[in-house]
Amino acid sequence: MKPISLTNKKQDEKDKEKQACLMGSGEVPAHIAIIMDGNGRWAKSRGNIRSFGHKAGVDSVRDITEACAQIGVRYLTLYAFSTENWRRPQTEVNALMRLLVRSLRKEAENLNENNIKLVTIGQIGRFPATCQQELKEAMELTKNNDRLHLCLALSYSGRWDITEAVKKLTQQAKEGKLNPEEINDQLISAHLSTAEIPDPDLIIRTSGEYRISNFLLWQLAYSELYITETYWPDFRRDELYKAIQAYQKRERRFGKVFDNNTHKKKADSYVQELTS
């Protein structure tokens, strides 16, 4: 079955050209993780309440998810709700919970039609029963899909993730099933909530804040960071393309040294073509 549009918009030829140029200019990140920030400020700048910004942000989620699927991104992780977000005013938290339920009911079929798998990381048990049920049904419906792995970080924090991994390893050592000397980076990664997901190649943060905000602290050790002043409700596929262009121009050395600028020159050439 041919994928349908998540955004209910027909992709125009100009966008197809941009995507083709982007995919030809260098490596497309296999895993992109996004800290979706600025919904409240976006709403306030328009004289609206914060929940208005959260609703508008859903449109960006649709557009970015669709664009990632189209250009071959394999994993997209969205920081949708942090453990710290529980401290927000109860009215805002309640509005977010209602929005999550409505969005899941509306989008699950579209995700499935587009061969997109939905998973979550975080303390899902803290959510209302209705949210948990909608998440469970959406994940069950899409569990066999393999075009794009869409991961929602819900009630998630990087410190919580690492702490839970330490608890699991400690318990195994206590039971005599694990020698503490055997603990290494790979073993810790295997006990994180993202064990089935490769570490992010690119981390994007919207709204211009220069901090990680307790997101994927272990996993982003070698991720490329991209910060944009754009608020999340205004972050659409053209902004995503800019972030990927910036990623393609960087040389990922992982502590090593390379003396080869061929890839960078190639990327610069394609970027110039794309933006001309």
Spatial separation of the C-alpha atoms in residues 66 and 89, rounded to whole Å: 32
Alpha helices in 45-119, H assignment, sequence order: 50-71, 90-113
Q: Are 206 and 42 contacting, i.e. CB atoms less than 8 angstroms apart?
A: no
Asked if residue 73 lies in contact with residue 30, where contact means CB atoms within 8 angstroms, the answer is yes
For the chain, list the strands marked E by DSSP.
31-35, 75-82, 116-121, 148-156, 202-205, 224-227
Q: Which of 37, 63, 161, 201 is catalytic?
A: 37
Pairing of strands 202-205, 116-121: unpaired
Q: Chain-centre distance of CA 83, in angstroms?
A: 16
Lateral strand order in the sheet of 224-227: 116-121, 148-156, 75-82, 31-35, 202-205, 224-227
Q: Considering the candidates 15, 48, 85, 268, report the single residue annotated as catalytic.
A: 85
Is 59 annotated in the active site? no
Active site residue 37: yes
C-alpha to C-alpha distances, 83 to 103, 159, 163, 213, nearest whole angstrom: 20, 10, 14, 10
Residues with active-site annotation: 37, 85
